[in-house]
Amino acid sequence: MNLSDPVMAALIGATATFVTALIQLLVNARRQAAERAAGKPASRKPGTWLAIFALMLAAAVGGYAFAQYQGYQDREDSKALRGEMQAQLRDLGNAAARLERAGLQRTELSQSDATLGLERRHGQEGVSAVVELPPCEAGGACSESAPMRAAICATVPAGVTVTEVLLFTRQEDSQQPWADAKVASGQDAGSARFIDNYFERVQADAREICQRFVHWGSQKGRSARIVVRYTP
């Protein structure tokens, strides 16, 4: 492990001081032992106290170095802990972002499914259109060979598939339900009929499904209705 310069210097100084003090104590101890062996009183020289002071100094410096080392270790541990916490926070942020994207996608899919379901119901029910034609003028103004003409058009979305075009007609003041007034193309409905197959008119974002209708009755007007069913 790499140690900072202050810690290294303190450790080296403490080690050198400690070794020097031990050597000094050993020298003094041998000198005193030799003096005792010669029958001389042991002298107390300042070197002993200096050696003891050196040992105390070495212990202090060593304690300082250990404290510095421990602080270094704590800083390294704190740094590692901060790095780990930051990595976990990044992971949590990424997970939250993924969940948010997934939620948005599910919301978009749900909205898309709801829109598609609604469009299917509209297609099954059908889109209708109605026109009202007045009676022909008296005096031969119109006839079966020269009738009044109209194109009845219902608008559907551009991308759908038309599955059925239902045709209905009744007199203008009739209380007959539309369901009972259903006819087929070409069927005589009493001086009126639908003719030909339906045709389309393409618009920018929609389509018009149209059916031609003719009417030559001179007594009463005529209502004509189409219902276009489709699938999205």
Residue-wise pLDDT tens digits, 166-197: 999 999 888 999 999 999 999 999 889 999 99
Amino acid at 106: R
The pLDDT tens digits for 128-167 are 999 999 888 755 568 888 899 999 999 999 889 999 999 9
170-177 long-range contacts, CB within 8 A, separation 24+: 170/222, 170/223, 171/220, 171/221, 171/222, 171/223, 172/132, 172/220, 172/221, 172/222, 172/223, 173/220, 174/223
pTM, full prediction: 0.51
pLDDT band of residue 39 (cuts 50, 70, 90) is low
On whether the CB atoms of residues 136 and 217 are closer than 8 A, the answer is: yes
Cα 172–chain centre separation: 56
R_g (Cα) of the chain, nearest Å: 54
- At residue 35, what are phi and psi to the nearest 5 degrees? -65, -40
